[in-house]
């Protein structure tokens, strides 16, 4: 359908005004909201590809996330009434001692664009808050972000608390942030680490 391709391309090109207008026009023309969401997801996937190819930068990812957030708010009433299915639940947050949220917000938006239900706990999140959110939501994936090296201890403590709660075998743990690498992943006891937002989406899809 031409309108769906136009929406995908407008989002991929970061054309905010055009993308929003096309979505509103398509809804008025009775195009199913789920089809519109899928077109937006395809647009976000293209944004991720351009980022991986270094055609886009972090600021572009942030811009695409803001556009997707606005489109999601437009589509949400129709999606709920249409019973759109979630790809799964993920608890996410920046760990205790770290208040950086740009990277977290980018990953959260990319996960949402892939149809995951994300429980975003914000920043400076203590281990007990992560555990409580996992228990309450029943999520099977925990994502922790940290830009400071002091965040590593918080990540490790959270994984230890997960083990103490008897939930470690049932919950996959991903970590990410500027200084995070495979060595940090092993040190804190996470299952894997994401180099960027697209990597986080691939991990989540592989686990859920």
In the prediction, which pLDDT does 88 show?
94
One-character DSSP codes across 140-197: SEEEEE-SSTTHHHHHHHHHHHHHHTT-GGG-EEEEESTT--HHHHHHHT-SEEESSH
User: CA torsion 101→107→109→110, rounded to 10°?
Assistant: 160
CATH label, 2-82, candidates 1.10.1240.10, 3.60.20.10, 3.40.50.620, 1.10.390.10: 1.10.1240.10
* Fold type of domain 89-207: Rossmann fold (3.40.50)
Pairing verdict, β 172-176 and 141-145: parallel
Report how far residue 172's alpha carbon sits from residue 189's, in angstroms, rounded to the nearest whole number. 11
Long-range Cβ pairs for the range 134-137 (8 Å, 24+): 134/91, 134/162, 134/167, 134/171, 135/165, 135/167, 137/89, 137/91
Report how far residue 129's alpha carbon sits from residue 134's, in angstroms, rounded to the nearest whole number. 9
Q: Quick one: which of 113, 164, 111 has its CA closest to 139?
A: 111
* In the chain, ranges of CATH 3.40.50.280 domains: 89-207
In the prediction, which pLDDT does 83 show?
57
In the prediction, which pLDDT does 84 show?
58
Report how far residue 96's alpha carbon sits from residue 51's, in angstroms, rounded to the nearest whole number. 29
Report how far residue 78's alpha carbon sits from residue 207's, in angstroms, rounded to the nearest whole number. 28
* In the chain, ranges of CATH 1.10.1240.10 domains: 2-82
In the prediction, which pLDDT does 81 show?
63
- Kindly report the number of other CB atoms within 10 A of residue 54's CB atom: 7
How confident is the chain (208 residues) per 10-residue block, as mean pLDDT? Answer: 94 97 95 88 88 90 89 82 76 95 84 89 97 97 94 97 97 94 97 88 93
C-alpha 114 chain-centroid distance: 8
Give the predicted TM-score (pTM) of the model: 0.73
In the prediction, which pLDDT does 51 show?
87
In the prediction, which pLDDT does 72 show?
85
In the prediction, which pLDDT does 198 show?
80
Helix ranges (DSSP H) in the chain: 2-12, 16-28, 33-52, 58-82, 102-113, 127-137, 151-164, 182-188, 197-207
């Amino acid at each position: 359908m031409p309108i769906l391709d136009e929406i995908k391309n407008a989002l991929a090109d970061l054309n905010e005004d055009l993308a929003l207008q096309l979505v509103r026009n398509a809804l008025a023309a009775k195009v199913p909201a789920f089809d519109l969401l899928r077109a937006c997801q395809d647009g976000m996937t293209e944004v991720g590809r351009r980022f991986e190819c270094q055609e886009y930068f972090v600021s572009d990812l942030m811009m695409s996330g803001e556009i997707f957030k606005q489109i999601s708010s437009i589509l949400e009433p129709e999606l709920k009434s249409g019973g759109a299915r979630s790809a799964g639940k993920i608890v996410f947050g920046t760990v205790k001692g770290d208040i950086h949220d740009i990277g977290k917000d980018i990953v959260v938006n990319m996960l949402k664009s892939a149809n995951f239900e994300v429980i975003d706990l914000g920043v400076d999140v203590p281990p007990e808050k992560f555990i409580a959110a996992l228990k309450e939501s029943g999520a099977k994936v925990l994502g922790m972000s940290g830009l400071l090296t002091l965040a590593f201890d918080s990540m490790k403590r959270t994984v230890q608390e997960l083990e103490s709660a008897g939930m470690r075998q049932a919950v996959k743990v991903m970590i990410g942030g500027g200084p995070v690498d495979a060595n940090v992943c092993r040190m804190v006891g996470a299952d894997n680490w994401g180099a960027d937002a697209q990597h986080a989406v691939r991990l989540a899809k592989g686990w859920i």
